[in-house]
Chain A
Amino acid sequence: MTTPEPSSPRPPDHTTPKPAASPPESDRTAPRSPGTAAPHSSGTTAPHSSGTTEPAAFPPSIPPVDSGSPGGRGGARVVAFRAGLHRARVEFRQSATSAQDVWGALFLPAVALVVMYLLRHNTVPGTGFSLGSQSIPGVLGLNVVFSGMMALAMTLTMDREDGTLLRAKATPNGMIGYLTGKVLSRAGMAVAGALVPLVPAAFLFDGLRLGEVSSWLTLSWVLAIGLVAVLPIGAVLGSLFESAQAMGVITLPLMALMAVSGVFYPLTALPGWLQVVAQLFPVYWLGLGLRSALLPDALAAAEVGDSWRHLETAGVLGAWALLGFALAPAVLRRMARRKSGSAVAARRAKALQRPL
């Protein structure tokens, strides 16, 4: 994108927006010579040149008008939010009925279930508990990150390329509805990606506490706060990367983070500094929270501090949520602003490539 921002400074010779002072204005009555020196006759009537020039006659811009209406701007935004809920429903249905999307959401747990089933006779060191069962909640946590955060980031970059985002910009309050729809439909897929694998897991593995109300309560709040933590990050990532391909660079660090997040390997077995790094990111805490929901309490002994650390889980995930919500609006706005610029640039480049 070599084209400058659309908001780049206006050329110095035309900076004054006042009609009275702007050079084009003075050009109008004289033989027209906008820009360069080619002379023009007045053979064609310019739209405005009805004899005398009246530089001050250019109509003033009418200020925003909708704030005075009963529903006002807020009412229109509520309508847009509701339209966003409709969008979320439709897009969730589209994803849930698309083989590609379903595969994307269930690929990781499916592979994990098979591997863990083969390893089911190994036990967590120091206990008689199956290592396979112990790993399942962490895998589901990873899956939330993948089908929530990464999928949202991917969708945003792709929608920027195909014009979906520009369509939202062309619609009044369209960005509100667009983001509501995207975030909620991706959240829906992430929840489905976490819950659906529990069905086969219940048959394949022993020891998961699926029959207790308390485990479902824990599962609910961990998933909720986890999604609120990772989805805004997904939105930020999706806005920062130019294309879906460029997002590839983020996969590697994410893989590294997964490896040290205590899903496949107990965190306590890692060097101290790695433990600190892992505990800075939401992946570990999502996994820990889900383990606390689905595993017997005795297994807390295998965790850092011999505890499920619910308070810390809520704290770290909450901090990420705050960070995400602080960053996301500004980054998303920047993305929406830049969109039209790059679209024009691309089109212009294409136009210039034509043989002249």
Chain B
Amino acid sequence: MPSTSAQVDDELSRGHFNEKIEGMNPGDIEKEKPDEPAIETRGLRMRYGSADVLRGVDLRVRRGEVVALLGPNGAGKTTTIEILEGFRRRSAGEVRVLGTDPDDGDEAWRARLGIVLQSWRDHGRWRVRELLDQLGRYYTPYSTAERRRPYDPQELIGLVGLEGQAEASVARLSGGQRRRLDVAIGLVGRPELLFLDEPTVGFDPQARQDFHELVRRLADLEDTTILLTTHDLDEAERLADRILILVGGVIVADGGAAELTRRVSGKAEVRYNLDGEWHAASVEDAAGYVRGLFERHGDAVTDLEVRRTRLEEVYLAMVRDFESAGHAEVPGRLAEVPA
């Protein structure tokens, strides 16, 4: 990894010198405000007809953060992300994305966003490099001293690992290559904020791992704020600084993977064999319990097993509860879920 980053770093800095942007006036666009959150919503609601999809979502994403919006299908992840992108009008609530209400977002605001939706099938006849060149052109007026827009197509192709397909037509790319192109297009305007909606659906394990590396690299090198949706806890844990669990239209948990794990693993399950008979206990202080166990029974205890409740189990239990309730009930917060 370090060698890769160094190499990309080098590429990036060369890119800065290579780029020639006509009619660009550095700093004539607004300065980025590092203290202002990239995304902030309060009481965000979305209703389709009589169905409530979002029931009051409060979220806040700081600049430079990588946040995963985790939830089962139908939880409202895509709706949330489309509202933030300005593609949907919300039913109620407050939303600021890069300081602007997405409903009022203009083209200059749009130039600061990168968007990767779930499924693209567009531009099949275009060649990869040609398409990146075409779509990058729209960003030149929005270049600033801090962020040279757009990315050089060749540099971008290298970043997402499509060197071998630069002259291939888009329709001929494999699923994973196509997805990497989608990400490249999302990045072409060097966005301050990147939305990734289910980026790795349909990836094989290798493609998934490559993609995870790419996302981490982007966050580290470009200081890009990333909001991604996924229904895969493992992916959220690998990629995100913070995980927001969205179930039934509300955020039921918010925190780093380790923090969430700590929160749900207050209890541990102790299983042991005493005189040939199995016992199990769910306890707060596993070490103290086990100490007491040995003090009382000594050698009679055989086959001891202590297991912390894992985040995954809690998440899956939560999703199961939500789905068996037929999407009707608002699920409880994470801490309440019986572990």
Residues of chain A touching chain B, judged by Cβ–Cβ distance below 8 Å, are 2-4, 6-7, 10-11, 14-15, 17, 19, 22-25, 27-28, 32-36, 38-48, 58-59, 61-66, 68-71, 73, 75-76, 79-80, 82-83, 86-87, 90-91, 94, 98, 159, 162-164, 166-167, 169-174, 177, 340-341, 343-344, 347-348, 351-352, 354, 356
Q: Which residues in A have their C-beta under 8 angstroms from that of B209?
A: none
A-B contact pairs, 13 of them (CB 8 A): A2-B49, A24-B45, A28-B58, A32-B333, A35-B249, A44-B335, A58-B40, A61-B99, A66-B107, A69-B29, A163-B119, A177-B134, A344-B79
Q: Which residues in A have their C-beta under 8 angstroms from that of B329?
A: 36, 38
Bits for B77-98, please: 1 = Cβ < 8 Å to A, else 0.
0110010010111111110100
Q: Which residues in B have their C-beta under 8 angstroms from that of A4?
A: 48-49
Looking at chain A's contact residues, is the secondary structure mostly helix, strand, loop, or mixed? loop
B56 touches A35 (CB 8 A): yes
A79 touches B140 (CB 8 A): yes
Assembled-state Cα–Cα distance A169/B94 (Å): 23
A36 touches B108 (CB 8 A): no
A79 touches B141 (CB 8 A): yes
- Is B262 close to A, CB under 8 A? no
Assembled-state Cα–Cα distance A232/B298 (Å): 89
A75 touching B134 in the complex, CB below 8 Å, given contacts A44-B334, A162-B121: no
- Is B152 close to A, CB under 8 A? no
B139 touches A163 (CB 8 A): no
Assembled-state Cα–Cα distance A93/B133 (Å): 16
Bits for B101-131, please: 1 = Cβ < 8 Å to A, else 0.
1001011111101010111111111100010
Q: Which 4 interchain pairs have the tightest Cβ spacing? A: A24-B43, A43-B335, A34-B56, A14-B92
B330 touches A35 (CB 8 A): yes
Quick one: closest A residue to B88, CB to CB?
A: A6
Bits for B135-169, please: 1 = Cβ < 8 Å to A, else 0.
10111111000000000000000000000000000
Assembled-state Cα–Cα distance A73/B109 (Å): 12
Quick one: closest A residue to B105, CB to CB?
A: A64
Assembled-state Cα–Cα distance A90/B170 (Å): 14
A44 touching B42 in the complex, CB below 8 Å, given contacts A15-B92, A76-B141, A79-B140: no
Interface pick from B7-15, B219-227, B252-260, B272-280: B252-260
Assembled-state Cα–Cα distance A65/B82 (Å): 22
A173 touches B82 (CB 8 A): no
- Is B55 close to A, CB under 8 A? yes
A17 touching B333 in the complex, CB below 8 Å, given contacts A28-B58, A46-B58: no
A44 touching B253 in the complex, CB below 8 Å, given contacts A22-B43, A66-B142: yes
B91 touches A10 (CB 8 A): yes
Most buried by A among B43, B329, B334: B43
| B261 nearest CB across to chain A (Å) | 13
A351 touches B74 (CB 8 A): yes
Q: Which residues in B have their C-beta under 8 angstroms from that of A14?
A: 43, 45, 91-93
Bits for B31-52, please: 1 = Cβ < 8 Å to A, else 0.
0000010001011110111001
A10 touches B94 (CB 8 A): no
B118 touches A347 (CB 8 A): yes
| B135 nearest CB across to chain A (Å) | 6
Quick one: closest B residue to A13, CB to CB?
A: B92
Most buried by A among B115, B135, B185, B328: B135
A40 touches B333 (CB 8 A): yes
Q: Which residues in A have their C-beta under 8 angstroms from that of B56?
A: 24, 27, 32, 34-35
A44 touches B92 (CB 8 A): no
Query: Given B79, B87, B99, which contacts A59 in the complex, CB threshold below 8 Å?
Result: B99
B87 touches A79 (CB 8 A): no
